[in-house]
Amino acid sequence: MELDIHSKDGKSTGKKAKLNDAVFAIEPNDHAIWLDVKQHLANKRQGTAKTLEKSELSGSTRKLHRQKGTGGARKGSIKSPLLKGGARVFGPRPRDYHFKLNKKVKDLARRSALTYKAKDGSLKVIDGLGMSAPKTSEFAAFLKAFELGARKSLVVVPAKDDIVLMSARNLQGTRVVVAAELNTYDIMNANGLLIMKDAIAPLETILTK
């Protein structure tokens, strides 16, 4: 498939970028996308939630009142989960939420996500930014040219570019990633996907191995 190449002011340059159909025009697999997004979010969880159990709670072990004759229920400990300030039953414990996912499934998920973006017209190919120094206002104008000023945007660059990273880091909802680090969650979470022309080749190489 072919897409127009745009300049940073949002206008078409009249040139076309040829995209590999095996990456940008496949039959999308929704389940692969779901698995990859699930793994991404699970791997970000700290898993440090913890509540006190009965044996860990501080408090007197004295029996609150005699077993019979009070007219009320039996109470053996002030740390009982049934009483205010008592322990919690089956509370969360520290755990590891990470799980593995086959590399082929992750690659299929990324190709499926890219296909969805290409089909709905939210994927744009950019000729280049040509920024000589970090400037947030210039980068904000670039996003506004593609109607992404107040929307979530994902900018894919061929290699680490400190100027672009520094220009975008203070813009809410904007994320800049290197082609090799592109993931399914970022693609699906963005309203607009802007790929630098030079980032297409390394991205296709990674996803067609």
Per residue in 79-138, pLDDT tens?
Answer: 999 988 899 999 999 999 999 999 999 999 999 999 999 999 999 999 988 888 999 999
Sequence letter at residue 121: G
Parts of the chain belonging to CATH 3.40.1370.10: 2-46+98-207
pLDDT of amino acid 169: 93
pLDDT of amino acid 135: 94
Query: Of 19, 28, 36, 39, which Cα lies nearest the Cα of 203?
Result: 19
CA–CA separation, 22 and 80 (whole Å): 61
What does the pLDDT look like over 168-206, one tens digit per residue?
Answer: 999 999 999 999 999 999 999 999 999 999 999 999 999
Question: Residue 59 above 90 pLDDT?
Answer: no
pLDDT of amino acid 67: 92
User: What secondary structure, in 3-state letters, does 89-152 show?
Assistant: CCCCCCCCCCCCCCHHHHHHHHHHHHHHHHHCCCEEEECCCCCCCCCHHHHHHHHHHCCCCCCC
CATH class of 2-46+98-207: alpha beta
CA–CA separation, 110 and 112 (whole Å): 5
Question: Residue 165 above 90 pLDDT?
Answer: yes
Tokens of 190: 């963005």
| Phi-psi map region of 8: left, alpha, beta (phi>0 left; psi -120 to 50 alpha) | alpha
- Mean confidence (pLDDT) of the chain: 93
How confident is the model over 21-48, as a mean pLDDT?
96
pLDDT of amino acid 156: 96
CA–CA separation, 29 and 171 (whole Å): 32
Kindly provide the b/e burial profile for residues 101-122, where b requires at least 16 CB atoms within 10 angstroms of the residue's own CB: beeeebbbbbbbbbbbbbeeeb
pLDDT of amino acid 130: 85
Sequence letter at residue 113: A
Q: Are 47 and 94 in contact (CB under 8 A)?
A: yes
Query: Of 113, 102, 104, 134, which Cα lies nearest the Cα of 189?
Result: 113
| H or E stretch covering 21 | helix 21-24
Q: Residue 149: which pLDDT band, with cuts at 50, 70 and 90? A: confident
pTM, two decimal places:
0.83
How confident is the model over 147-151, as a mean pLDDT?
89
